[in-house]
C-alpha cells in the first residue's frame, strides 16, 4: 500500500510539463488518492528548465515534498538540473541512460516512428509514469479521452495508444526498481487548483471586483472569476499594464460605449486605464472596492448621482468626476478631454 509518493516532472518551458502534470494529477485523483501539486513559475523565455511536482498520499497533505521518488526528465538539461532531487531509492525516467536505477525510453523517436508525430512523446511519458507508479492504465485512458474529446476520435485513439506504448515500455524497465502500487480506492477527493481556491475564497469573503494585470501565477485568478462573473456577481477588468490596474473609470447605464472609446483613445496616448461599469444601480452588490487604486466617476448628469451613491454605500473616494449635462450624450473624446491626462 502506498502512503506518500512524490513525482517530479521536469522539462523546458514549452515542452508541456504542466499538461503532463495536470493529466497525471487527475488520473491519480481518479484512483481515490489525495493530490498536492505545485509548479515552478519562473520568469524564463521559452526553453528554460522548470518542474511540476505531484505529492500523492492516502490522506490530504497541504505542503509539497522536495525529494523525488520518481523524476521524469523530458530533456538532458532537466535531468542534470533536477537529478539531485532523486531519493536514494528513487528512479529517473528519461530519453537515454544517464544513471543506475532509471528507465531510459526514447519518447520522441518512438513517437515519431510509431505515431508519426513527436507530439505524442508526452503522452508516452504519461503512460510511463502510470506504470512506474503502479496505476490502472484504463483510468488514464478515460482521462485522456475526456481531455482530447474536442479534437476528435482519431486524436483520442492516438493518445490512448501512445500512453499504452509508454506504459508497456516502462513496465518492462521497472523490473526490480519500482516498488510502488496504486490500487483503486473508494475514497474521492475534489481536485481544485490553488488559483481557483483563492478566487472562490475571495468571493465567499465578499469580493465583488478585481482589476489586475495578467502575470503568472495570478492570471488564473482573474480568468476564473471572469468566466464565472454572472454566477459570482463579480466585476473583473484585465488591465493592459500595472498602472491600468490602479487607475479606474467608473460608470453606469448607457455610458459603457463612451467609456470604452475613451479607454481606447487614452491607450493610444500611452495612458493605461481600467474601467468598472454598472449595468444596474440597485440593489448594489455588498462588497468593498479595492484599496490602493484611484477612481474617477463618469456620468451623464449634473449632480454626480453615481458618485454620491457609491460614496454612501461603499465609502468610496473619487480622485475626480466627469459630468456632462448639456443635453448631449457622453462621448469618448469628451471624457478624454475632461480628464485632462
pLDDT digits over 75-110, tens only? 999 999 999 999 999 999 999 999 999 999 999 999
Q: Are 300 and 156 within one domain?
A: no
Higher-pLDDT residue of 47, 220:
220
Does residue 212 sit within a domain?
yes
Whether omega before 283 lies within 30 degrees of 0, making that bond cis, reads yes
E strand residue ranges, the chain: 4-12, 34-39, 49-57, 68-73, 86-94, 102-104, 209-212, 235-238, 247-252, 274-278, 294-299, 320-323
* Residue 214 pLDDT greater than 80, yes or no: no
Q: How many Cα atoms are found within 13 Å in the side-chain-facing hemisphere of 180?
A: 25
DSSP structure class, residue 304:
-
**Over residues 45-49, mean pLDDT:** 70
Specify whether 313 is located in the same domain as 210: yes
Number of structural domains in the chain: 2
Domain boundary among 142, 173, 204: 173
pLDDT for residue 340 is more than 90: no
Q: What is the structure's pLDDT at 2? A: 62
Same domain, 167 and 315: no
Whether 188 maps to a domain, the answer reads no
One domain for residues 32 and 156: yes
| 315 shares a domain with 279 | yes
pLDDT reported for residue 128: 98
The pTM of this model reads 0.70
Using the predicted structure, report yes or no on whether residue 46 has a pLDDT greater than 70.
Answer: no
Q: What is the CATH number of the domain that holds 115?
A: 3.40.920.10
| pLDDT in the model for residue 76 | 94
In this predicted structure, the answer to whether residue 44 has a pLDDT above a threshold of 70 is no
Instruction: Let me know if residue 183 belongs to a domain.
Output: no
pLDDT at residue number 105: 97
Lowest mean pLDDT segment, chosen from 17-21, 166-170, 265-269: 265-269
pLDDT value, residue 84: 96
120/44: higher pLDDT:
120
**Segments forming the whole domain that contains residue 93:** 4-173
Amino acid at each position: 500500500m502506498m502512503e506518500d509518493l512524490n513525482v517530479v516532472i521536469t522539462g523546458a518551458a514549452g515542452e508541456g510539463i504542466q499538461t503532463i502534470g495536470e493529466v497525471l494529477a487527475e488520473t491519480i485523483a481518479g484512483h481515490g488518492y489525495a493530490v498536492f501539486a505545485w509548479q515552478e513559475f519562473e520568469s524564463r523565455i521559452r526553453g528554460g528548465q522548470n518542474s511540476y511536482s505531484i505529492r500523492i498520499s492516502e490522506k490530504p497533505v497541504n505542503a509539497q515534498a522536495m525529494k523525488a521518488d520518481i523524476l521524469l526528465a523530458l530533456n538532458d538539461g532537466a535531468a542534470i538540473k533536477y537529478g539531485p532531487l532523486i531519493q536514494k531509492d528513487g528512479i529517473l525516467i528519461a530519453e537515454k541512460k544517464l544513471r543506475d536505477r532509471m528507465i531510459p525510453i526514447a519518447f520522441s523517436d518512438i513517437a515519431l516512428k510509431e505515431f508519426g508525430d513527436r507530439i505524442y512523446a508526452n503522452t508516452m511519458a504519461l503512460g510511463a509514469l502510470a506504470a512506474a507508479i503502479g496505476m490502472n492504465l484504463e483510468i488514464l485512458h478515460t482521462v485522456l479521452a475526456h481531455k482530447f474529446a474536442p479534437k476528435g476520435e482519431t486524436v483520442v485513439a492516438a493518445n490512448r495508444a501512445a500512453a499504452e506504448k509508454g506504459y508497456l515500455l516502462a513496465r518492462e524497465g521497472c523490473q526490480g526498481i519500482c516498488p510502488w502500487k496504486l490500487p483503486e480506492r473508494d475514497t474521492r477527493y475534489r481536485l481544485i487548483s490553488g488559483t481557483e481556491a483563492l478566487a472562490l475564497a475571495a468571493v465567499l469573503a465578499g469580493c465583488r471586483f478585481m482589476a489586475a494585470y495578467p502575470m503568472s501565477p495570478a492570471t488564473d485568478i482573474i480568468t476564473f472569476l471572469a468566466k464565472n462573473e454572472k454566477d459570482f456577481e463579480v466585476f473583473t477588468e484585465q488591465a493592459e499594464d500595472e498602472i491600468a490596474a490602479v487607475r479606474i473609470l467608473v460608470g453606469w447605464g448607457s455610458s459603457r460605449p463612451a467609456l470604452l472609446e475613451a479607454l481606447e483613445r487614452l491607450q493610444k496616448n500611452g495612458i493605461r486605464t481600467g474601467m468598472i461599469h454598472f449595468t444596474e444601480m440597485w440593489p448594489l452588490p455588498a462588497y468593498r472596492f479595492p484599496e490602493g487604486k484611484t477612481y474617477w466617476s463618469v456620468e451623464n448628469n449634473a449632480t454626480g448621482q453615481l458618485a454620491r451613491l457609491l460614496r454612501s454605500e461603499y465609502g468610496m473616494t473619487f480622485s475626480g468626476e466627469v459630468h456632462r449635462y448639456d443635453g448631449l450624450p457622453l462621448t469618448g473624446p469628451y471624457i478624454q478631454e475632461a480628464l485632462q491626462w
